[in-house]
Structure 1
Amino acid sequence: MLNISENPIKDKVAPEVLNTFEKTSVSRTVRRFTRWTMVLTIFGLIMLFIPWTQNISSYGRITNYDPAVRPQDVQSPIPGKITKWFVREGDTVAEGDTLAYLAEVDPSYFDPELLQRIDQELEAKRSAAQAYKDKADAQADQVSALQRSLQIKRGELDLKIHTDSADYAAAEIGMNLARRQYQRADTLFREGIKSQYELEQRLQKFQEAQAKFTSARNKYNQSLAERQRVEADYAEYIAKARSEQFTAISSRETALAEIAKLVNRRSTIEVRQSYHTVTAPQEGIVSRIYIRGIAENVKAGDAIAELFPTSDDRAVEVFVRPMDLPILRENHHAQIEFEGFPALAISGEPGLNYGTYASHVAVISQTPESDGTFRVLLRPSEDWPDRLPFGTGARAYILLDEVPVWYEIWRQINGFPAEAYDAPTKIEPKKSDVERVKDSEK
């Protein structure tokens, strides 16, 4: 009845005959459930010890690694009016190809012969500057001539003053001698030795000597005054000549300054006229034209078209959480799943992934974005698909260290950071088609 005998009879007796068999027997469903439960438990325990690759999963988009070849707006360098388009949306252009032509809207540049007018003005200013230079040189020569003439005059006047000075001294000596002779004659006259006539003769000679002395003194003083007058006159002449010389030099410098302004204006006009033709800054595809039709005015700096450079220097731009930033290093490996390409990705088992592409961490931003995340750029470690438009979405898995599954579950439950491995010191980036062609040419 307990169903513990080695020779059971339940197979020989119909179960519905005896209720005891029904009460003591275990159903087949229960046994099957128990068996499967044990199998799944053992399988689950084994799975807990399977290696699991920790990773940082983030969604991003395709961009270009080199900022010079990212999509850009072609802007109008000057204010103007578009008169003609040379391209359409979707056209491929080379560097320097003409995109559009701008006409002037500033009245100061309407003259078609503006450069010729400026050239004529420049020629006139150069002639005026040369004339002022010649005048300044002539005034300098005049100053030198006046200084030489002054030296000659000084020599003549100094000689005359010396002669007059000698005459003055001789006249003074003669006057003193005549005075003494008169005084002696006067004394002798009073003693009765000399006559009145002799006294009057001595007096006459004394008066004549006095007149000669006065004349010599006046002549000497006149010579001194004449020398001072000549010095003053020549100083005035030299000052006036120097004033005219400096005026000519100042006028020449003013003319040279105006010439420099005209040269600058001419260069500016030449550069501005070259801006009438809007050209492509580099090779690419005209993806969009912002201006509707022609004869539409644009301001300086307004975008008139969008250019998409033809470059395969691509990268994936993703954003990671702040808690993941400390464990990230450059050259960490990553797997990328692109939108529009079939893929089967298991984040913790990169070896089982299908349709993902290898890459590595190239740039880690140290400044947060507006939402608090940090920007990371991933570059290809193998060939990526050819048709990857700029801005295509991508799911990136940045691979970290390998840990057991149970540890990863425990980490996720507790919110602990992942474990990072030592990244390679350097990973050679995939060469672009252009670089491969250059290498082959070398």
Structure 2
Amino acid sequence: MLNISSNKLEGKVNFENFKSLSMTIPASESKKRVKILLYIFLFLLLFIFLPWTQTIRSKGMVTALRQDHRPQTIQTVIAGRIEQWYVAEGDYVNRGDTLLLISEIKDDYFDPLLLERTLKQVDAKNLSARSYAERVKAQEGQILALKANNSLRIEQAQNRLEMAELQVQSDSIRLEQAKVNFSIGEDQYARAEKLFEEGLRSLTDLEQRRLRFQEVQANLIAAENTLLSSRNEKIAAQIELNAIDNEFRDRLARAEADKFSAMSSQFDAEATATRLENQYSNYEVRTGMRYVLAPQNGYIARALQVGIGETVNEGTQIMSIMPADAQLAVEMYVEPIDLPLVRLGNRVRFIFDGWPAIVFSGWPQISNGTFGGKVVAIDKFTSANNKYRVVVAQDPDDKPWPDGLQIGSAADGIALLNDVPIWYEIWRQLNGFPADYYTAEEKRQARRQ
């Protein structure tokens, strides 16, 4: 009883006659309760010293390990009009299979003989380039002929100049001879005239001497004229020699100008031919792009453009494809505070949607229905959700992942860290401390050092 009344029943009433009251009197039951509490305390004391595996929980989704094995969309390279579908959703296709046919909608490519006519333009320009090349060769031959002819003409003009110089020397000697004869004739005529005045010579002799003096004087004038004519011929030979060189330079310049003009036309024709060849290759490739091909083996997941006759622009998404035989992995996101604890090669346990599991996060050994993985990649920058992406591949040493697992399925990841006592984990969680960064082996190595 609570003994809150001043009128006590103890000693006045026999409680043995009242069974319910006798059960409330402390007796041996109190000892049982103490033992139970003691056992519970001992169990809890032992329990908190049990090993506990620290973990990091994170949500993720199944993806492909290689980026080229992940789902992708197929786009059109050229604008066109959908003419025919060759596949349906869910079909399996091999790389290079034709998926779709589109037709041109740009007027630049409407011509059905576009390739043939472009090829004819290429051939015509190539022939034009060859004709200009032959013209260049002809000009080069003309230049060689001009050089050879010029050498001969220069040699001929030099010979003429030498002949004129020799003629000038010869005429100069004749002039000197005529001058000597003129001096002698003048002296003889003066003596004959003096002798005639003295009566020692006749008038006939005087006239003969006068005739001879006039002949000598005429010879002197003729020699002077001849010398001047020779000098003029020498000057004419020099002028001719210079004219030959100037004429050669002028004709050579014109021939080289024609040659370079032909070369310029040749290069322009070759450039145009190359441009047309490039255009022809572009047309040929564009014609092949009218057929949309499968980029790799996989399954057609969804058609994004469905109508026959529907027009699409460059880069428009036509359909999505799910690559076949993709090696699966899981993308999971961890908090920045937990990133230093995650390392390449760390083991992770997964709970996949659709596969039931019994999980004890601290005792992964007794968990059932989970699948193992290893960390293979860690992003160096945060994603849009301000978390770091971690890629986990299948653990080859653990049981394989389910065959029915598909890309896009949700996965609950449990990254396994250090083994610590339960009391330490409780204390860490209450204080909000992160998990231990160093492993037990690293701690032992640090103590040895």
The change in CA–CA distance for 1:310 and 1:423 in structure 2 (over 3 A counts) is farther
Task: Give the equivalent residue in structure 2 for 1:340.
Answer: 354
Task: Give the equivalent residue in structure 1 for 2:83.
Answer: 83
Quote how far apart the aligned CAs of 1:25 are.
Answer: 3.0
Contact 1:132 1:248 in 2 (8 A): yes
After superposing the two structures, state which structure 1 stretch, 277-286 or 223-232, moved more: 223-232
Q: CA separation in 1, counterparts of 2:296 and 2:316?
A: 19
The 3-state SS of whatever aligns with 1:301 is coil
The 3-state SS of whatever aligns with 1:323 is helix
Task: Give the equivalent residue in structure 2 for 1:383.
Answer: 400
Amino acid in the other structure paired with 1:185: G
Task: Give the equivalent residue in structure 1 for 2:48.
Answer: 48
Deviations 1:21-57 (A, max 9, x none): 9699316776655443333222211111111011111
Contact 1:49 1:404 in 2 (8 A): yes
Task: Give the equivalent residue in structure 1 for 2:257.
Answer: 243
Alignment of 1:347-426 (within 5 A): 347-381=361-395, 382-420=399-437
Task: Give the equivalent residue in structure 2 for 1:154.
Answer: 154
Contact 1:80 1:105 in 2 (8 A): yes
RMSD: 2.4
Contact 1:154 1:227 in 2 (8 A): yes
The change in CA–CA distance for 1:128 and 1:178 in structure 2 (over 3 A counts) is same
After superposing the two structures, state which structure 1 stretch, 37-46 or 311-320, moved more: 37-46
Alignment of 1:186-201 (within 5 A): 186-191=186-191, 192=194, 195-201=209-215
Task: Give the equivalent residue in structure 2 for 1:110.
Answer: 110
The change in CA–CA distance for 1:23 and 1:282 in structure 2 (over 3 A counts) is closer
Contact 2:74 2:321 in 1 (8 A): yes
Amino acid in the other structure paired with 2:93: V
2:314 equivalent to 1:297: no
5+ residue gaps, structure 1, are 1-12, 425-442
2:335 equivalent to 1:318: no
Q: CA separation in 2, counterparts of 1:246 and 1:90?
A: 65
Quote how far apart the aligned CAs of 1:350 are.
Answer: 0.3
Alignment of 1:194-213 (within 5 A): 195-213=209-227
2:245 equivalent to 1:231: yes
Quote how far apart the aligned CAs of 1:134 are.
Answer: 1.0
The 3-state SS of whatever aligns with 2:401 is coil
Task: Give the equivalent residue in structure 2 for 1:25.
Answer: 25
The 3-state SS of whatever aligns with 1:367 is coil
TM-score where L is the length of structure 1: 0.88
Q: CA separation in 2, counterparts of 1:30 and 1:101?
A: 90
Task: Give the equivalent residue in structure 1 for 2:136.
Answer: 136
Q: % of aligned pairs identical? A: 31
Q: CA separation in 1, counterparts of 2:184 and 2:36?
A: 176
Amino acid in the other structure paired with 1:50: L
Amino acid in the other structure paired with 2:128: A
The change in CA–CA distance for 1:18 and 1:205 in structure 2 (over 3 A counts) is closer
Q: CA separation in 2, counterparts of 1:389 and 1:252?
A: 63
Quote how far apart the aligned CAs of 1:290 are.
Answer: 0.5
Task: Give the equivalent residue in structure 2 for 1:6.
Answer: none
Q: CA separation in 1, counterparts of 2:46 and 2:145?
A: 117
Q: CA separation in 1, counterparts of 2:372 and 2:27?
A: 54
Task: Give the equivalent residue in structure 1 for 2:173.
Answer: 173
The 3-state SS of whatever aligns with 2:390 is strand
Q: CA separation in 1, counterparts of 2:356 and 2:285?
A: 52
Contact 1:329 1:423 in 2 (8 A): no
Q: CA separation in 2, counterparts of 1:232 and 1:398?
A: 95
Contact 1:328 1:420 in 2 (8 A): no
Quote how far apart the aligned CAs of 1:14 are.
Answer: 6.2
5+ residue gaps, structure 2, are 1-12, 196-205, 442-449
Amino acid in the other structure paired with 1:406: W
Deviations 1:240-271 (A, max 9, x none): 12211111111111111011111111111111
Quote how far apart the aligned CAs of 1:16 are.
Answer: 4.2
Contact 1:133 1:252 in 2 (8 A): yes
After superposing the two structures, state which structure 1 stretch, 413-422 or 63-72, moved more: 413-422
Deviations 1:167-211 (A, max 9, x none): 111111211221232134324444537843332222111111112
Q: CA separation in 1, counterparts of 2:289 and 2:303?
A: 19
Task: Give the equivalent residue in structure 1 for 2:36.
Answer: 36
Amino acid in the other structure paired with 2:75: Q
Contact 1:330 1:423 in 2 (8 A): no
The 3-state SS of whatever aligns with 1:398 is strand
Q: CA separation in 2, counterparts of 1:71 and 1:263?
A: 38
Contact 2:64 2:70 in 1 (8 A): yes
The 3-state SS of whatever aligns with 1:387 is coil
Task: Give the equivalent residue in structure 2 for 1:96.
Answer: 96
Contact 1:125 1:259 in 2 (8 A): yes
Quote how far apart the aligned CAs of 1:18 are.
Answer: 9.6
The 3-state SS of whatever aligns with 2:343 is coil
TM-score where L is the length of structure 2: 0.86
Contact 2:382 2:388 in 1 (8 A): yes
Amino acid in the other structure paired with 2:125: K
Contact 1:343 1:354 in 2 (8 A): yes
Task: Give the equivalent residue in structure 1 for 2:342.
Answer: 328
Q: CA separation in 2, counterparts of 1:158 and 1:228?
A: 10
The 3-state SS of whatever aligns with 1:370 is coil
